[in-house]
Amino acid sequence: MSGTSETSSTANSQPVVGRGRLLQVLGMWFGMAAAIGNTIAAGIVRTPGDVARLLPNAWMFLGVWVLGGLYAFSGASSMAELGAAIPRSGGQYNFSRRALGDYAGFIVGWSDWLSTCGTAAAVAIVIAEYSGALFPVLTGNLTVLGHMRIELIVAVFVILGFFVLQWRGIRWGSGAQLSTAAFKTGAFLILVMACFLLGGPAHRATQQSTTSSLALPSGWPLIVAIMLGLQGVIYTVDGWDGIIYFGEEVRNPGR
């Protein structure tokens, strides 16, 4: 009897492994890569031209980007505190549900999910279009599928490729995020340095060869142009909250 009781007490004292928990395998570098990689996305190669067309003034152009950076900084600071206090995966759904209830969490969660799906599609299309610029064989129509644009097929395969990476496991996805974020950061720094080192002569040549330039609007058209420019900038940098979607998978959320 004593042996049986000792055995049962030993079995009861062993820790019970919880089920349904996500693996905490992501570190601080992944968090930085998620924030940087989401911020330096496809919009950074398209939005500057659109903003410059709306605000053809160097100081106005730089001003909206500075305001967008301040917006991202303030939002990231708030999300960092919330993410450390509520380390749950799922993004803004968890914060809305905790603060405003189940219905608000449901609405925010679904709208966030739909927005993420739309962003993934837009990024895939941009990747396909710029791939066509680098490799002309990826442009045109494919008559086999009823004159479907090859860029759309490339975009679909881009999404499928990232799906396979995520399906393979969190470590595969983490490795892809780290490598792509490092590559994009390096390429972006090289681009910025090239603009400062080589942009002066090119700008002067453009000014000399151009007979007319866009005029900066005034009054209400200027206000509308600033709002549209800010909208494009905010949409472009709106990726700084990427790490909050992996709160339960980060080893030390407080970092």
pLDDT per residue of the chain (255 residues) written in tens, 0 to 9: 444 444 444 444 444 445 567 767 787 788 778 878 777 777 787 788 889 888 888 888 999 999 988 988 888 888 888 878 888 888 888 888 888 888 988 998 898 888 888 888 888 888 888 888 777 777 766 655 555 677 788 888 888 988 888 888 777 888 888 888 888 888 888 888 888 887 766 666 655 555 446 777 778 888 898 899 898 888 888 777 777 888 777 777 666
Q: Is residue 12 part of a domain?
A: no
Q: Which residues pair with 26 in a beta bridge?
A: 250
**Which of 182, 130, 166 has its CA nearest to residue 151?**
130
Task: Say how far apart CA 245 and CA 122 lie, in whole Å.
Answer: 20
Tally of domains within the chain: 1
Q: Is residue 166 part of a domain?
A: yes
Q: Is residue 230 part of a domain?
A: yes
Q: Is residue 153 part of a domain?
A: yes
| Parent domain of 138 | 23-206+213-249
Q: Is residue 36 part of a domain?
A: yes
Question: Token pair 């895939």 is at which residue?
Answer: 124
Q: Is residue 120 part of a domain?
A: yes
DSSP conformation class of 142: E
**Phi first, then psi: what are they for 67, rounded to 5°?**
-60, -40
Q: Is 49 exposed, middle or buried (0-12, 13-18, 19+ CB in 10 A)?
A: exposed
Segment holding 89, helix H or strand E: none
User: What's the pLDDT at 14?
Assistant: 46
Q: Is residue 254 part of a domain?
A: no
Q: Is residue 239 part of a domain?
A: yes
User: What's the pLDDT at 206?
Assistant: 59
